[in-house]
A and B are shown apart, each in its own frame.
Chain A
Amino acid sequence: GAVVSQHPSWVICKSGTSVKIECRSLDFQATTMFWYRQFPKQSLMLMATSNEGSKATYEQGVEKDKFLINHASLTLSTLTVTSAHPEDSSFYICSARDEEQGAFGSPLHFGNGTRLTVT
């Protein structure tokens, strides 16, 4: 089945530093990937849609300059949290759909998430 790998699983960084999170589709190509953010016991909130070879589309209220997204190849998207602050501490999870499955009903496959703690 389609596998999405996300790295790192967890990261602790100091306030003011930047953190990069990688999301890879291992056995399929994805022109589009999605980045979600989740606080404990809460829903997954869509942050942005990552588009291969073009700019990401950000959801309303998400700071583009803070959450930099790069989708340089058909199997890799990265999210960089710049100048991280404690309020950026959260669970970040990426996802992608195997577009070759074609059907409207094909599910999003998720990475295992990255737990970011900013001290």
Chain B
Amino acid sequence: AQKITQTQPGMFVQEKEAVTLDCTYDTSDPSYGLFWYKQPSSGEMIFLIYQGSYDQQNATEGRYSLNFQKARKSANLVISASQLGDSAMYFCAMREGEYNQGGKLIFGQGTELSVKP
């Protein structure tokens, strides 16, 4: 069963507008963490934001915020005031279990975001 699902293969957004990238997850472990990474065409993986399963508030990091809806098992990434440099692949990932072996991450399929000028 797919543990992390990103249903939007591609998204377009106008520069300076906000965009939401969807992510749903599946786990029976009460302790888990959700991460978002950005991958530009150069291939590097850039960590954006983290949300823990026990966190009461939605995570925010600059223009990035995470809309965490635990009951719905969703962790959508919101990018505000989009910039041309935001064009990239975006991956949602999950870490399960507090004593997970070394902290491995399982990734979703990714969403390719294109920002239009």
Contact = CB atoms under 8 A, between A and B. Distances in A.
A41 B112 contact: yes
Interface residues of B, number: 26
Contacts of A44: 45, 91, 107
A95 interface: yes
Interface string B59-96: 00000000000000000000000000000010100010
Interface stretch (A12-20, A21-29, A79-87, A103-111): A103-111
Contacts, number: 67
Given A41-B112, A42-B110, A91-B43, A104 B52 contact: yes
Contact of A34 (B50, B98, B104): B104
Interface of A: 31-34, 36, 41-46, 49, 51, 57, 91, 93, 95, 97, 104-110, 112-113, 115
Interface of B: 31, 33, 35, 37, 42-45, 47, 50, 52, 89, 91, 95, 98, 101-110, 112
